[in-house]
Chains A and B, each alone.
Chain A
Amino acid sequence: MPAGDEPESRRVVVTGLGPVSSIGTGIAEFSASLRAGRSGAAGIRSFDPAGFPYSYAAEVPDFCAEKLLRGLDPQDWGRSSQFAAAAARLAADDAGLDTGRIAAGRFGVVMGTTSGESQVVEALTSQAVAGGGCQAFAPDALARLPAARLAHAASEELGAAGPSVTLANACSASNYAIGYGYDLLTSGEADIVAAGGADSVCRWAHAGFYRLGALSERACAPFDRDRTGILTAEGGVVLILEALGHAQSRGARIYAEVLGYGLNCDARHMVAPDAESIAGCMRAAHHNAGVTARDVDYICAHGTGTVSNDRAEADAVRQVFGEHAPPVSSIKSMLGHAMGAASGFGAVAAVLAIADGFLPPTINWDSRDPLFPWLDPVPNRARTAEVRIAQNDGFAFGGNNCITIFGAFR
């Protein structure tokens, strides 16, 4: 297909990857960790976990915004915005973008998040508790609060003058961002979009997931019979999405193609996933991407490691793929659940699976779940495989499902 300018014929490719995560910052480190099956779980440092029964999370232990950012003064921005901007910078460098030489107005940013600047909310809350009410809020913290600033931080860092949008679709938000970025490119509204997500570890999410009975003590073991739940996590992640013609004209390396995405809403329960609805989302994604279930070589699962997610996701895979389900692994076993950034990390893993020919493992896996003995979680060790088409699942509170589909570029 020619890389013409007919809106509907514009293909979209991935030319840069920028993860800032508990298992590595920058694509080389992140990729090596995925292959090695490294875990990012450790004792919580973002807040004092005293009094919590469980005190593990997957934080970015060595995050140093000053070292990564060139345009932005980290002091003016909250932790999640810093993650977003740092990931955007890493991805732009990985893509070899010379931001001085591209049309700034054709360069957009779309970021996804669950809780935005949650650490700013917690700082404000501490001020209010100590100072006898909201009148004790610090004005400079209030300035850092709006979640829109996640995208704006990345736009400012890269000098991107196209759309700058933050989607707050909770734990599938990065997939929403990638999907919206893909639309902006196919419709001709932009030539390059930095798409991804960011979130920070916070007390309230740790407490909330614990009270839902969805938190694991030390290790996240998706698809394992004896799984105990999620580990809260954080980070930032950006994929540089580019119109094919634009990428080719600057001689960019192409990791993979974005084939399309699907999205829908359970409209049934705020927290519990719905297998029928997820299956519908998978079908919508396949349809939009112009593929069939048979074409999919790998599923990068939502795979949170809770009983309800694993069962609903496996059930949906069975409904859509029948006897021919491809391997389904969960990188949350390594990364924990990075909330709004999670499906962005999944997208990076799916793209690497295609570009580098390996399936990232589900670590901490020990026993098959008798409810889905057929499921191949790529247990504990990465596997060499040719992946032509990969599906990246993202589900969320509010029943916000979004699934992205990536393909080998040819």
Chain B
Amino acid sequence: MSSLVVTGEGVVSSAGVGPTAMRSALAASSRQPPDVRGLYPEALPYTSAHALTDFDVRALLGRKGTSFLDRATGLALVACGQAIGHSGMVPGTWAPERTGIALGTTVGSLRSSSDYSRETLLAERPYLVNPVLFPNTVMNCAAGQAAIWYRLKGVNSTVAGGPLGFLGALRYGMNVLRRGYADAMLIGAVEEFTPHTAWAHYLRHAVGLPGEAAAVFVVERAESARAAGRTPVAELAAVRGGFHPGGGEGLAKRLTASMREALEDAALEPWQVDRLAFSEAGGAADEAIGTAAFSGLLGPYSAARIRVREALGECGAAAGALQFAALLPAPRAAQDGRGGLLAGWTREGAFEVAVIKDISGAGDSSG
């Protein structure tokens, strides 16, 4: 079986557009979250949060076709464009019919569906809603618009996974490539910051500050990437997961078992894992599960822990995508025989783990 490689990344976070902005924010010892007071006319529970306060979809994508896009879709489109550009998918080197997308989400744009529902309650007649905005209420809006925007005529899928949205999309996209349904997949996740998500964060007593982000990666078979002259950033080696009925108790053990299987798929030993990331949304509870799961796997070995929530906010389905971006080796830092592990889970008990492997010399051309 041919290996799958990441050839491009697009990251939009509260630190700005592009992976460099994200990496600088993660490297900084502390970061002041943006002031969000002017962002919406509605009241917000926080004066600062991890939103892209200067996000201007028209400036980034042009005026044509952007006026009715919701925020989540706009963020996703920008991240997709970045990933395509970074990968070097220039026209003629890829087939639209053989290129698809898998995006993770929690509920799509909650603001879009809730505002639509609100109109039925407040309009003079309940049916006086704007038909142009109706497609924004479906959860596959961002993936469907990305297909139109970038001519992705292959498999188009949206995985509603909440905190596992990205890892679910990653597993789905890997399946698509392994089954030969597509030659390349854009795989990522998006979450928007709106009064709806901010209040949901606040009222559920969620940890830290709410945020927003979109991160998208081009994943394809190694040989077709090579043939098209695209440079791999890393190998996507394995994704494994399942469901732990009841959640909580015993989840760490199942995570450890899944990590072992995933490392076996990747032909890596635990000591070769030199960096890791796991769910941060659940605060101390998640910290305990992740620590137990990883110490069960690594034993005496240690790996660098990557965290994104403190610097970039709690980004729901996109949190895993930011962690994945942060796990990719920096240019010229990749070493054969080294890899990174990403684990995620939901409070209901669903979990996934992913393994990336370094490719020596990867990314040199972009350095």
List residues of A whose CB falls within 8 A of some B CB.
50-53, 104-105, 108-109, 113-118, 121-122, 124-126, 128-129, 133-135, 137, 139, 142-143, 145-152, 155-156, 159-170, 176, 180, 183-184, 187, 202-212, 263-271, 277, 280, 396-400
Contact = CB atoms under 8 A, between A and B. Distances in A.
Contacts of B160: 113, 116, 146-148, 150, 166-168
B140 A168 contact: yes
Contact of B127 (A183, A210, A265, A277): A210
Contacts of B137: 115, 204-205, 208
A160 B241 CA distance: 12
A116 B204 contact: no
B159 A168 contact: yes
Interface string B112-125: 01101111111001
Interface of B: 42-43, 45, 96-97, 100, 105-108, 110, 113-114, 116-122, 125-131, 134-135, 137-141, 143-145, 147-148, 151-162, 164-165, 168, 171-172, 175, 178-179, 181, 195-196, 198-200, 203-204, 241-246, 254, 346, 348-350
A242 to B, nearest CB: 18
B321 to A, nearest CB: 16
Contacts, number: 259
A211 B131 CA distance: 6
A288 to B, nearest CB: 8
A129 B134 contact: no
A340 to B, nearest CB: 9
Given A51-B126, A398-B135, A161 B114 contact: no
A265 B153 contact: yes
26 contacts: A51-B126, A115-B113, A116-B139, A125-B117, A128-B114, A128-B118, A133-B199, A134-B200, A135-B43, A147-B107, A147-B160, A148-B346, A166-B160, A167-B157, A169-B156, A169-B158, A170-B140, A180-B175, A207-B127, A209-B134, A211-B129, A263-B155, A267-B153, A397-B140, A398-B141, A398-B145
B157 to A, nearest CB: 6
Given A125-B118, A160-B243, A271-B135, A133 B126 contact: no
A161 B118 contact: no
Contacts of A147: 105-107, 139, 160, 162
A361 B200 CA distance: 46
B229 to A, nearest CB: 25
Given A121-B110, A121-B114, A148-B162, A207 B145 contact: no
B106 A187 contact: no
A176 B138 contact: no
Contacts of A211: 127-131, 134
Contacts of B152: 265, 267
B127 A51 contact: yes
A121 B117 contact: yes
B217 to A, nearest CB: 19
A183 B172 CA distance: 10
B198 to A, nearest CB: 8
B348 A152 contact: yes
Contact of B126 (A52, A264, A397): A52
Contact of B138 (A115, A117, A137): A115
A57 B164 CA distance: 34
Contacts of B117: 121-122, 125, 202-204
A147 B122 CA distance: 26
Nearest to B202: A135
Contacts of A204: 113, 116-117, 119-120, 129, 137
A207 B154 contact: no
A183 B200 CA distance: 36
Nearest to B145: A270
A163 B140 CA distance: 21
A167 B126 CA distance: 30
Nearest to B350: A164
Given A161-B242, A265-B154, A208 B131 contact: yes
Contacts of A187: 175, 178-179
A116 B148 contact: no
A161 B40 CA distance: 42
Those 6 A-B pairs whose CB atoms lie nearest each other, nearest first:
A398-B144, A168-B139, A147-B160, A265-B156, A134-B199, A164-B243
Contact of B158 (A118, A151, A168): A168
Contacts of A264: 97, 153-156
Contact of B147 (A125, A159, A208, A398): A398
Nearest to A263: B155
A207 B137 CA distance: 12
B140 A169 contact: yes
